[in-house]
Amino acid sequence: MSSPPATANSKAPGSLVLLYHRMGTPLRRSIVRGQYTTPGCLRWQIHTLARLGYHPAPLSAVLPPSMSEGRFAVTFDDGYAAVGRIAWPLLLELQVPMTLFVVAGAIGQSNHWDQAQGDCLEPMADAVLLRELADAGVEIGSHTMSHARLTACSNAELHTEIVDAKQKLEDLLGRPVPGFSYPYGAWDARVRAAVIDAGYRYATATILGPVTTDTDPYLIPRVNMRWNTVGWLLQRKIRKAYRQGGA
């Protein structure tokens, strides 16, 4: 097992899970412009991680308890069409695996949860694209049925958002959907238990930190990547992740 990169924290074993959302040039009218990542920025971020001594790996390889150290895994939340059109070809070229957490009720539609807050429309991946991605090796995970804030849901709503979303994706793809991502990073003991009861093997959160052998598999921390998370800013965010992770 390799040692963690000294440039991150030479005393802190573990790996990193990166969190992305949207691909392309930020739309001027968007209220979440920081969520966009351009192809050039994504390439720069991947190359920087490689220079820091990290190696790309599928998300399954960095999950506790039998995880590999000194790795990074790429995840995208929501399931935007641009991720399949722009990010995946680039990551495939760079030989970097990808996990895509999909809002199951928005397949082939648009980001209604953001539009309700005044954001601009972004198309979501349709069934054809999701099947193509899954067949190409992209792991598809669940990001609920409607991008609901789960801590505010009733037990019946939790079943729809967590259980029904998993079933819909598995029926669509014809393969298991092992992973889950909490929208808005919102979770509590009831929500976590519902995810476990639904049969998911792990769940990602928005907690900042590295993944270690002691990490709760249903609270996988991630590093939130933005359009400006490059160079020394990226290195600073990695160091902060190790500090906040208790390393």
Domain boundaries in the chain?
A: 13-244
Q: Are 168 and 145 in contact (CB under 8 A)?
A: yes
Q: Which two tokens stand for residue 227?
A: 């359009």
pLDDT for 6: 40
Tell me the H-state helices in the chain.
6-9, 39-51, 81-82, 88-93, 112-115, 127-135, 155-158, 165-173, 189-197, 231-244
Element of type H or E holding 22: strand 22-23
CA-CA distance, 104 to 15, in Å (whole number)?
A: 28
**What is the model's pLDDT at position 13?**
72
**Which residue, 184, 61, 78, 56, is CA-closest to 141?**
78
- C-beta separation of 99 from 79 below 8 A: no
Which three-class secondary structure state does DSSP give residue 123?
strand
> Quick one: pLDDT at residue 246?
53
CATH topology of domain 13-244: TIM Barrel (3.20.20)
Residue 244 is predicted with a pLDDT of: 80
Residue 12: predicted pLDDT: 52
Q: What six digits make up the tokens of 225?
A: 């990547």
The tens place of each residue's pLDDT in the chain, 247 residues long, gives 343 444 444 335 799 999 999 998 877 677 777 788 999 999 999 999 999 999 999 999 999 988 888 999 999 999 999 999 999 999 999 999 999 999 999 999 999 999 988 888 899 999 999 999 999 999 999 999 999 999 999 999 999 999 999 999 999 999 999 999 999 999 999 999 999 999 999 999 999 999 999 999 999 999 999 888 888 899 999 999 998 865 4
Instruction: Evaluate whether 72 touches 58 at the Cβ level (below 8 Å).
Output: no
Mention every residue, 6+ apart, whose C-beta is less than 8 A from residue 193.
none
Cα–Cα dist 36/55, whole Å: 24
The 3-state DSSP composition of the chain as helix, strand, coil percent (nearest 5) reads: 40, 15, 40
Q: Are 72 and 42 in contact (CB under 8 A)?
A: no
* Position 240, amino acid: K
Q: Which residue has the tokens 């980001």?
A: 111
SS3 16: strand
Largest distance between two CA atoms of the chain: 48
Q: In this structure, how many other beta carbons lie within 10 angstroms of the beta carbon of residue 132?
A: 14
